[in-house]
Structure 1
Amino acid sequence: MSAFDGLRGQLQQAAATFADGPDALEGILLGIVDDVDRAVREPLEIFPVCHHSPASAVAMARRLREKQPKVVYLELCEDMAPLLPELRNCRLPVAVQAYATEVDGFPVDWSPLSLVAPITEASAEYQVIAYALDTPGVELVLVDRSSDHVFQWEPRGAPAEPADPAAPVEEEAALHGDAVGVEIGDLRPRFAELEEHLLHHGRVRHWSEWWHQYVELPLGDSDHDTYRQVMLLIGSLFRRLAPGDPDKVRVDEDRERHMWTRMREHLAATGTDPADCLYVCGAFHAASRVEEFGVHGADTFTVSPRTATRWQHGLIPSSHAAIEAQFGLAAGSVSIAATTWTTNLKRTGVRPFRLAGQAAGRTVKPLPAPGPQVPPADRLSGFLRRPPVLDALDEAELLGWSVEVVRAARRNGYLASTADAIAVFETSILLAGMRDRARPTPYDFQDAAVTCIEKDTVPGRRDVRRLVEIMMGGDRIGQVGYDALPPLARDVHDRLSALNLTLTQRGVQRALLDIATRPELGRCSDVLWMLRYLLPHGAARPIMGERRLGERPIQESWDLALGTHQRALIELGYEGVSIEQVLEQRLRRAAYGPQATAATVLEAVEDATLYLGGRRLADELGTRALEVLAAERTVDGAPEVLRRVRRLLAYYRTSEPQLPPWIGAFVTTGYAHYCTLLPTAFADEDATVGQVAAMLGFLFSMESLALSLGCDRTQLELAVAQSHPREPSKVALLWAAQVHLGSLTRAELRSRCDDLLADPLALPAYPRYLSGFVHALEPVPGLTDVVVEAVSNAFGRLPDPVLLPWLPTLISTLRSGGTELAPLLIREAGRTFPGRLAALDAWVPPWRARPEVRPGLPVAGAGGVSLLAAHPATCDALAALLGCDGAWQAAGPGAGGGAALVGRYPDTAAALEVLLAAR
């Protein structure tokens, strides 16, 4: 005979009445009773709980003091057990985390793997942990699958429970990052229609409110047997009505098989009597039907071996908002649960368990001797027939809430008054009555406050719903103590101790570093710059001071929020024992990754020089940059390569006695590499003019070093000669390159620009030619005057009907393509144009000025002859430079003093004449 035979008969009769005969309904109802009966009769006592439920926590504290079990089996990942004693050094809520950066046996795109199990004071699992750790002779055994098995049992198609990166989350709600959550006692309908039905008939908005009203409040002060049987009933109901998803069913059953297998192994190894044990698990798993269920279950399940993935474990700060966001709970529900936990303790008189390190000033009294065990009776029949208990209205509590929310609303900019407090009070009672509740719940009060105070505007940063959540307890944020931090985090705190700041404190703190008067702060500066590189934005933010190659600041100012970003700092400890080691690993990963380019590797070289110093890692990464550059077949990264190579060359030339071997090899390899790709890049439509200009900038600016290291300039000349672009901006860029190499004179370049302005068909493309000339200032900065002349001629010669239509295109082209080069143009224009408006009328552009012809000199070559005659010393120096060894001779009548020399060297005279005309 079973204690539930009477209940079975009642449910069978009800099923026959409502379902017109025995059918599926009867099977479900009787199956639920069978599940409860089976769990209750199990020799090893099963204690079903719900995730972060105050009712479960109170019932757990009461049962632990009554039963005093010697062994407690807890549904938590078995590899997290070593971390639990560290909870003494923390302020709850915190989360136990398992973390793996390098995966072996899992898909690569799942990395990094992160798993968290949040723990709050108002939870049954914390009561178990505190009892087991602070009670002598009690053993706590974690029996759930390991962190490795959590991901082993996930489908290989996608990572487990991926987070939506586009979803906006608050800072407190993101404390867990994108970690997978381990729910201890997850209890929520997986049958959507059932949840919708319960919410509709319960007259509530979400599941958290339904659970609070119909489970938390009735079970808050119930006896042990009633609590246990009701939780088993709910777990069995949700399990039997859950959709038959094969993956979820398989994972749930494998977890149950794993836990019962581990418990039987422990009982067999230690010889413990099951009557002295307690099994704490979620109510969903307590109503299990697997063959391995119970101490006498079948031993048919084999735990698969773990993968070779190396897991790191630690504690990270958590918060109520983070728990709600990760497990899909309503906003504020965990805060309300914490308030309910405090209320239940006062109402029931139950003394909770707290770890010694967290119960400051408390004395732990010895537990009384356990009383005799009484066989459980049928409590479900009475509970199901009993009408809901309507708590009496606590007017003082509700009035206090109403006054407090109005006070908070005033502080946040709302025009709230005493009349609003009265309205909130009366509306809360009205809403509770409409929902068949005599006592308004926090959710009723929240709705009333929004209705009466918020109206249609939110004047401040917080709305009324958020104000109520804060008033009910707020979002408590946990903190991991110094002793519970990993070695890396403790080392960071020790090295920054000279700043005299409380680094564990949340919020932003200002740190002032006067390195000139206190040189020891230079080491703090090194740590802060590395933290800025490794941690998320805002953890360490420089306000004054910067770090560049070859420079060391004498003063710095920082905004530090290491307490706010404690999780990120702790996770750095999973990657190494010092921030230097982690930084080196990050740089190597960036340089040797599959997506590495020459630009990214050079960036890693620069970062290694900036933050780590020394030459070992920088030389290794520089050699890697050389390999990556030689393997590239595109010019996408040419601008970044040019900028970084210039900076590194300038640094090594000023700080090192000689250049590192790798950078010389990089220059020669880059010279040959870009010469080979230049004709293709000029013709490739996907290659932008900025990328081609960067290639030419590399070739022209590194030419002297490359030639000194053995490169051949003929290769560059052939590459330019083989380039035949069609796009106007690249054509202009090619002309500039030809001017630099000497195959095109400046006079010919000016003539081509004049021809473009004179050709009506070429006018629409003229802005793109100008864009090419602007980009040409990167490789050939000496053409600045020609670009200014080309722009000025366009404005001076073209009529308004032609100029105005393409003027916006010209401006947008210069802004988008010449932002970095615009200062060169502005400086040249300021030097060329008159500084005063009055001088503009008489001003003649230099490119239009004609050389002065002196009397007595031939017209042809007059400028060069007069220059030679006026400056004989300069002529002698130029002649020596050109290899001329002749002497001055007397000129014939009517000729200048240098006429004979001009006659002997007509080419030199023509070159000087062209130079004079250009000036």
Structure 2
Amino acid sequence: MSEPFGALRDQLLGAAAAFGDGPDAVPEILAGMVEDVDRALREELEIFPVCHHSPASALAMARRLRDKRPKVVYLELCEDLAPLLPELRNCSLPVALQAFATETEGLPAEWAPLSVVAPITEASAEYQAIAYALDTPDVELVLVDRSADHVFQWTPRAPESGTDGAPGADADADADAADADEAALHGDAVGIEIGDLRPRFAELEAHLLHHGKVRHWSEWWDQYVEQPLTGADHATYRQVMVMIGSLFRRLRPARGTAGDRDEDRERYMWTRMREHLAASGADPADCLYVCGAFHAASRVEQFGLHPEPGAEPFEITPRTETEWLYGLIPSSHSAIEAQFGLASGSVSIAAATWEKAVRRGGVTPFRLNGQKGAKGAKGAKSAKPRTTARKAVEDTGGAAEVADRLTGFLSRPPALDELDEAELLGWCVDIVRLARRNGYPASTADAIAVFETSVLLAGMRNRARPTPYDFQDAAVTCIEKDTVPGRRDVRRLCEILLGGDRIGQVGYESLPPLARDVIDRLEPLGLDLGKRTIQRALLDLDARPELVPCSHLLWILRRLLPGGAARPIMGSRRLGERSVQESWDLAIGREQRALVELGYEGVTVEQVLEQRLRRAVADPEGTAATALDAVEDSILYLGGRRFTGELGRRAVELLAAERTVDEAPEVLRRMRRLLTHYRATEPELPEWCAAFVTAGYAHYCTLLPTAFVDEGTGVRQVAAMLGFLFSMESLALSLGCDRAQLEIAVAQSHPEEPAKSALLWAARFQLGALSLADLRERCDGLLANPLVLPAFPRYLNGFVQALEPAPGLTPLVVEVMSKAFGRLPDAVLLPWLPKLITTLRAQAPDLVPPLIREAGRTFPATLAGVDAWDPPWSGRPAPAEAAAPAVNAPVAALLSSHPAACDAVAVLLGHEPVWQAPDALGPAASPAVAALLAAHPATAEALAALP
């Protein structure tokens, strides 16, 4: 052991021997921590350990950069993200560097799309290093961490399925995210961070939280590490951070996949740094290696510029063939907290701590020249000149003598900050004002109570100065009380007060070409699309025809982006319709991440939509219904007959390959709409459309007998098949189909389920094999049979579904439903009603209108008419005054000379055409015909007047 830390090592071993009563692991761990610190500080290349989004690390980094002025900065960040760093000038922090891949080559297809993000905030050491390197001449910034492709290469896969638990295993989700919408800014991306300083041993974290009298890890870190190190000198900061990283590293669980992946990352980074030094010839004394404190305490054999003797070189595997795309996406404090398992509000509190430390002075932070959102930004060029005399302890990377700062830091009690009454009073007054705006009955007394409670809580937790966490707890206790009157609780209000959920934004210059194209094309709307608020756009397309392209683009964005990005309030886009005026709610600025990722798929939104439609129909799981949906979208948004024809031909192939009829209702609905569109706009049907009708006619005729007897095929699906066959029969026959196919299919169908039996009867009626009188007789027989009554509602469900293929049965369906409601007992009727209601509600556009129209023609229009009304199907004789009057001679002569017309009308009405010899009509007229002529004399007189 080296002399500087010998005393500390002996002291720790003595304490372990005096107080330890367990195995020898404790002395080994304590001695190992000291060895790790000594090893890291004696490395020729200076190692700067940091914690992610830590103000103390950022302040220490700014001080060290201004003092050392390194020529090369090695940064623990994915090496393939380097080209994105200059684009940070055009952004408002926080933002995230992103690597994105829509398709995988050499990686499991189930993982797609792949996404890796590295969030950047101003209060982070990595941003200080980036700003210094980019704005200082002759300084090189080298990213040395594994590439995004290696992130997924090293992700473990399940042994059989080829997938792992989740590609985003490095990013722990936190259920307490401040805002679910903003927490989703990173989506399900894998998060890459510098300085993952959190115990990976659950019992250790629970122990620290319990004895530290804090609720969560972020509060413990702020109290016991962040605040003491904020003003520490460079040597003390380095030694303490390496010691903490060594502690967490040695107390992690037994090595496994995660441990091996950490060590592989360290081997990767040291290999890259040695390669760069060998290629560039840079002096290690002029270099700085910025990495997480966890990795600074590395024990791998490849550690350092001069690895251990016998250490084998680390072989970096080549990247896969996956094509990666890179860009910047907006981030937020809550998104970072949710992705990396931090407490809600911790990043906002860290940002407030950073701003307060900068205001106090003592250090000038680095900010990129031209950085958006930075007030008073000063780049590296405005820094103080480099000092010529280096301090032996602070300026060397460990090559010279190292002094022990740990002993003093660990032995003396922490310096307690005095109570800043002005700051705490300001917090208390502002939280009361904010609470009143959000519906809380807060008053000045509550502000005083929050102040005193904050001081009390800090004293109970051994703190002289209340922290933001103490203030937050006091505000919840004194203001929230029992209920939350508004959308935000007091804890959320405190987060807003202490800095809020700051949300970054990517500048126009750093957006991908597609996003810039969208913003340029929507410029005629006159809106600031960068705002995160919802904006209303009013489009009068007749008065301002130049807005028609904007309307077309908005409909495409509605199809491609999440629901809140472009939401129509007035107007529609359907086949055969054209909106005169439209109203939109636009939140494109809030959905900037989705717009950026859309830019990874193409150059224009039309190209992206075409690619997505092509992928949808080419998917092995695709169906004819999805292909028809793609056809309709191509007509609505893209036009172009060639592409539409390509999708239509694919729909024909998918329909012919289907072995089930689960999506027959959707196929029928979409095909009817497309046929109506083409008949109204085209002189003839496209070839694919005719092929789809003929293929569908043959396909459904083939599957019809099986669908009738298959228990897994629903009544709705069979009705849709029959609807396709009968509604498109004339078109199919004109295209060369044979009606015998349908007749044979119906004849071979023998269903056992009552509902399908009713459908079969409707099909036979539509084919002319079953008359209306026979169908009515069968229904009456079912109602008269007490054994069949419990199943009669199922027959009636079939008749209701039969309105799809046989709309001519609507009067019979109304008649049968009326008889059922009049004759079925309550024990049968009441359990059936909910199913009938849900059926009609689900298929309201198709089934309800014809039933209502027929019921309106059948039933009396007024309540008074109900008492004297007799149903047409009751069979009662007509009143005497309604008897047929004498028909004039010309009419009688016409009817007797042409009896076929009367016979056809009688058959349609369900009567047998039996001719008798009444007085009025001479030798050939029945009473039923006479009654019909009496009820409608105008028709007979018009026929008689014909020449």
- Which SS does the other structure have where 1:422 is aligned? helix
CA distance in 1 between counterparts of 2:230 and 2:744 reads 88
The CA deviation string for residues 720-743 of structure 1, in whole angstroms up to 9 with x for no partner, is 111111111111111111111111
**How do residues 505-516 of structure 1 correspond to structure 2 at under 5 angstroms?**
505-516=531-542
Residues 589, 239 of structure 1: CA spacing in aligned structure 2 closer, same or farther, 3 A cutoff?
same
- Which SS does the other structure have where 1:118 is aligned? strand
Matched, 1:620 2:638: no
1:83 alignment counterpart: 84
**Count of equivalent residues:** 898
Which of 744, 758, 780 lines up with 2:784 in the alignment?
758
Return the letter of the residue paired with 2:390: P
CA distance in 1 between counterparts of 2:10 and 2:917 reads 142
Which of 342, 349, 354 lines up with 2:367 in the alignment?
354
- Which SS does the other structure have where 2:74 is aligned? strand
The CA deviation string for residues 71-102 of structure 1, in whole angstroms up to 9 with x for no partner, is 00000000000000000000000000000000
Compute the displacement of 1:16 (Å). 2.4
Is 1:535–1:569's contact at 8 Å kept on the other side of the alignment?
Answer: yes
1:146 alignment counterpart: 147
2:942 alignment counterpart: none
Which of 246, 250, 266 lines up with 1:236 in the alignment?
246
Matched, 1:473 2:503: no
2:390 alignment counterpart: 372
Return the letter of the residue paired with 2:772: R
Moved more, 343-352 or 68-77: 343-352
2:319 alignment counterpart: 306
Is 2:902–2:929's contact at 8 Å kept on the other side of the alignment?
Answer: no
CA distance in 2 between counterparts of 1:183 and 1:512 reads 44
Compute the displacement of 1:808 (Å). 5.5
2:457 alignment counterpart: 431
CA distance in 2 between counterparts of 1:614 and 1:179 reads 36
1:421 alignment counterpart: 447
The CA deviation string for residues 756-806 of structure 1, in whole angstroms up to 9 with x for no partner, is 111111111121111111111111111111111112223344576776675
Is 1:319–1:476's contact at 8 Å kept on the other side of the alignment?
Answer: yes
Residues 836, 57 of structure 1: CA spacing in aligned structure 2 closer, same or farther, 3 A cutoff?
same
Residues 807, 153 of structure 1: CA spacing in aligned structure 2 closer, same or farther, 3 A cutoff?
closer
CA distance in 2 between counterparts of 1:165 and 1:354 reads 30
Is 1:738–1:744's contact at 8 Å kept on the other side of the alignment?
Answer: yes
CA distance in 2 between counterparts of 1:570 and 1:132 reads 27
Compute the displacement of 1:688 (Å). 1.0
The CA deviation string for residues 380-423 of structure 1, in whole angstroms up to 9 with x for no partner, is 11001111211111111111111111111111111111111111
Return the letter of the residue paired with 1:253: E
Compute the displacement of 1:185 (Å). 1.0
1:610 alignment counterpart: 636
CA distance in 2 between counterparts of 1:874 and 1:424 reads 101
CA distance in 2 between counterparts of 1:675 and 1:233 reads 77
CA distance in 1 between counterparts of 2:423 and 2:174 reads 41
Compute the displacement of 1:603 (Å). 0.5
Which of 178, 181, 186 lines up with 1:171 in the alignment?
181
Compute the displacement of 1:892 (Å). 13
Is 1:221–1:348's contact at 8 Å kept on the other side of the alignment?
Answer: no
Residues 67, 916 of structure 1: CA spacing in aligned structure 2 closer, same or farther, 3 A cutoff?
farther
Residues 773, 40 of structure 1: CA spacing in aligned structure 2 closer, same or farther, 3 A cutoff?
same
**How do residues 46-445 of structure 1 correspond to structure 2 at under 5 angstroms?**
46-157=47-158, 158=164, 159-161=166-168, 170-297=180-307, 298=311, 300-358=313-371, 359=374, 362=377, 364=379, 365-370=382-387, 371-375=389-393, 376-445=402-471
Residues 214, 771 of structure 1: CA spacing in aligned structure 2 closer, same or farther, 3 A cutoff?
same
CA distance in 2 between counterparts of 1:250 and 1:33 reads 23
Is 1:15–1:22's contact at 8 Å kept on the other side of the alignment?
Answer: no
CA distance in 2 between counterparts of 1:156 and 1:457 reads 47
Unaligned 5+ runs, structure 1: 882-890, 903-908
Is 2:896–2:923's contact at 8 Å kept on the other side of the alignment?
Answer: no
Compute the displacement of 1:277 (Å). 0.3
Is 1:866–1:896's contact at 8 Å kept on the other side of the alignment?
Answer: no
- Which SS does the other structure have where 1:840 is aligned? helix
Compute the displacement of 1:843 (Å). 2.4
Is 1:116–1:182's contact at 8 Å kept on the other side of the alignment?
Answer: yes
1:592 alignment counterpart: 618
Matched, 1:678 2:685: no
Matched, 1:713 2:739: yes
CA distance in 2 between counterparts of 1:686 and 1:912 reads 48
- Which SS does the other structure have where 1:349 is aligned? coil
CA distance in 2 between counterparts of 1:42 and 1:290 reads 14
Return the letter of the residue paired with 1:280: V
1:25 alignment counterpart: 26
Compute the displacement of 1:611 (Å). 0.8
CA distance in 2 between counterparts of 1:746 and 1:677 reads 27
Residues 24, 837 of structure 1: CA spacing in aligned structure 2 closer, same or farther, 3 A cutoff?
closer
Is 2:541–2:581's contact at 8 Å kept on the other side of the alignment?
Answer: yes
The CA deviation string for residues 461-516 of structure 1, in whole angstroms up to 9 with x for no partner, is 11111111110000000000000000000000011011011111101100111111
The CA deviation string for residues 310-342 of structure 1, in whole angstroms up to 9 with x for no partner, is 000000000000000000000000000011111
Residues 247, 912 of structure 1: CA spacing in aligned structure 2 closer, same or farther, 3 A cutoff?
farther
CA distance in 2 between counterparts of 1:166 and 1:649 reads 51
1:779 alignment counterpart: 805
- Which SS does the other structure have where 1:171 is aligned? helix
CA distance in 2 between counterparts of 1:70 and 1:893 reads 120
Return the letter of the residue paired with 2:502: R
- Which SS does the other structure have where 2:545 is aligned? coil
Moved more, 546-555 or 571-580: 546-555
CA distance in 1 between counterparts of 2:174 and 2:775 reads 52
CA distance in 2 between counterparts of 1:213 and 1:743 reads 88
1:886 alignment counterpart: none
Residues 501, 832 of structure 1: CA spacing in aligned structure 2 closer, same or farther, 3 A cutoff?
same
- Which SS does the other structure have where 1:116 is aligned? strand
2:941 alignment counterpart: none
Return the letter of the residue paired with 2:504: G
**How do residues 646-657 of structure 1 correspond to structure 2 at under 5 angstroms?**
646-657=672-683
CA distance in 2 between counterparts of 1:352 and 1:892 reads 112
- Which SS does the other structure have where 1:72 is aligned? strand
Compute the displacement of 1:894 (Å). 7.4
1:906 alignment counterpart: none
Give percent identity, aligned residues only: 71
Matched, 1:494 2:507: no
- Which SS does the other structure have where 1:520 is aligned? helix
Compute the displacement of 1:823 (Å). 1.8
Residues 466, 160 of structure 1: CA spacing in aligned structure 2 closer, same or farther, 3 A cutoff?
same
Compute the displacement of 1:551 (Å). 2.1
CA distance in 1 between counterparts of 2:21 and 2:792 reads 88
- Which SS does the other structure have where 1:96 is aligned? strand
Is 1:115–1:182's contact at 8 Å kept on the other side of the alignment?
Answer: yes
CA distance in 2 between counterparts of 1:868 and 1:410 reads 91
Residues 200, 913 of structure 1: CA spacing in aligned structure 2 closer, same or farther, 3 A cutoff?
farther
Compute the displacement of 1:13 (Å). 2.1
Is 2:764–2:770's contact at 8 Å kept on the other side of the alignment?
Answer: yes
Residues 258, 369 of structure 1: CA spacing in aligned structure 2 closer, same or farther, 3 A cutoff?
same
CA distance in 1 between counterparts of 2:727 and 2:51 reads 70
- Which SS does the other structure have where 1:479 is aligned? coil
Compute the displacement of 1:240 (Å). 0.8
CA distance in 2 between counterparts of 1:164 and 1:657 reads 60
TM-score, scaled to structure 2: 0.90
Moved more, 9-18 or 155-164: 155-164
CA distance in 2 between counterparts of 1:892 and 1:484 reads 93
What RMSD in Å do the two structures reach over aligned CA positions?
A: 2.9
TM-score, scaled to structure 1: 0.93
